Structure 1
Amino acid sequence: MEAFEKTSRNQVKRIPKRGHYDRPAIYAILDDACVGHVGFALDGQPFVIPTIYGRDGDTLYLHGATTSRMLVALQKGLPVCVTVTHIDGLVLARSAFHHSMNYRSAVIFGTARLVEGAEKNKALEVISEQILPGRWEEVRGPNAKELKATSVVALEIEQASAKIRTGPPGDDKEDYELPIWAGVLPINQSYGAPQEDPLSRKELDLPASVLQVSER
């Protein structure tokens, strides 16, 4: 199914024309990031935790220490909400009221389950590839001790929506005559020059995973 069904849980209420429910739009937002905010309630107390994730199809993988309160709680089958946001520009209007931002955001709903065995190794690779494609094959994989100290949960994406704003400001008609500059100030994320670990035993060439982003 290409689109998620609109329900009371995932429907965009404020400026609904900016809402998107198709998987390609939502997954493009997820794939352009690697950190989301995971929301859940535990004993009546809400928590929102910034967390690295990886996407594989309709599944998000999250990982952390086995003692992580969030991961321990999610294994209980709690409802989970994950949000991811990109700020693409400051929208500067002629009036203070009409200032805004250009953005792409996704809201994901689902229920998590504990991941074990071969899927656990695969999930850790998915998370690594989400952060820096190709790095997993360049490094030592996790050993038994590290795997034992790490929990991984899979969040099956049950419902989702995206909200996107693009374009210039929208001022009141009479304000367009004001002698005030208005427009969009774009915001772009970029990588800096690689900095080698000072404890490296010898000089090494940059790996392919780093080269592919540092040469952009």
Structure 2
Amino acid sequence: MPSPSNTPRTQIHRKPQRAHHEAATIRAIIDEALVCQIAFNQGGSVHCLPMACWREGDFLYIHGANNSRLTQTLLEHECAVSITHLDGLVLARSAFHHSMNYRSVAIYGRFEAEDDPAAKAAAFRAFVEHVSPGRAAQVRPPSPAELAGTRLLRIALDEAVAKIRNWGAEDADEDMAIPVWAGVLPLALGAGPLQPEAGCADRQPPAAPAFIGG
């Protein structure tokens, strides 16, 4: 995948030094996401909704019901998709210079439908593997009726940009002598104790995604 196109929508004006247009950086951030936020205009009203997501190749995928107004709107209109990972709280010596460390991606464009049954089945298998590696081989795959009733949408990563902050506090010189702790409080997504359904406690536990801590 070549680097996404540098367009007016992917220009970072606030803190431009945090911008990253490399395809590998954008992919890596997307690949650690389970949920994205999609902003779109529907009937003159602006909405922003969370959706489960995953990446295959040069596309970000989502899914929804065939008769969903949301999926139809996304096929007909441009939208913006955002993903953010919060990596730490940056605690400075002054309140004004507190910040956060993060990795984010913004994607612009229009979703398209993938209607081929074989392609849909492969994409949904990839989604299951993204959520829990090895799970697709253990569970029942979607039936033809289930596939037919589900809309698979994808948006190209052609117009995308990443923004990253990954360093410590940036205190002003006059604040350096303030006797207070300064630095980064790291944050990470973690998995809690398993909560098995009845009769499943002695079965092989599922694997968490590699990017989620135990």
**TM-score of the superposed pair, with normalisation by structure 1:** 0.90
CA contact (8 A) 1:61 1:153 kept: yes
CA drift at 1:214: 9.1
Alignment of 1:132-151 (within 5 A): 132-151=132-151
User: In the alignment, which residue of structure 2 is the partner of 1:154?
Assistant: 154
- The 1:53/1:211 distance shift into structure 2, 3 A limit, reads closer
One-letter identity of the residue aligned with 1:186: P
User: In the alignment, which residue of structure 2 is the partner of 1:48?
Assistant: 48
| Structure 2, gaps ≥5 residues long | none
CA drift at 1:210: 5.2
User: In the alignment, which residue of structure 2 is the partner of 1:84?
Assistant: 83
CA drift at 1:16: 0.3
| Structure 1, gaps ≥5 residues long | none
2:129 counterpart SS class = helix
Segments of 4+ moved more than 6 angstroms = 211-215
User: In the alignment, which residue of structure 1 is the partner of 2:113?
Assistant: 114
User: In the alignment, which residue of structure 2 is the partner of 1:190?
Assistant: 190
User: In the alignment, which residue of structure 2 is the partner of 1:105?
Assistant: 104
Deviations 1:176-203 (A, max 9, x none): 01112111110011112222112x3783
C-alpha separation in 1, matches of 2:42 and 2:8:
23
Deviations 1:152-192 (A, max 9, x none): 11212221000000111101110001112111110011112
CA contact (8 A) 1:2 1:24 kept: no
One-letter identity of the residue aligned with 2:203: L
Number of aligned positions between the proteins: 213
One-letter identity of the residue aligned with 1:52: A
CA contact (8 A) 1:93 1:183 kept: yes
Bigger mean CA offset, 171-180 vs 143-152: 143-152
CA contact (8 A) 2:64 2:71 kept: yes
User: In the alignment, which residue of structure 1 is the partner of 2:32?
Assistant: 32
One-letter identity of the residue aligned with 1:46: V
2:127 counterpart SS class = helix
One-letter identity of the residue aligned with 2:120: K
C-alpha separation in 2, matches of 1:18 and 1:121:
38
- The 1:164/1:210 distance shift into structure 2, 3 A limit, reads closer
The question of 1:15 aligning with 2:53 is answered no
User: In the alignment, which residue of structure 1 is the partner of 2:63?
Assistant: 63
- The 1:212/1:48 distance shift into structure 2, 3 A limit, reads closer
**TM-score of the superposed pair, with normalisation by structure 2:** 0.91
One-letter identity of the residue aligned with 2:72: V
2:95 counterpart SS class = coil
CA contact (8 A) 1:93 1:182 kept: yes
- The 1:214/1:179 distance shift into structure 2, 3 A limit, reads closer
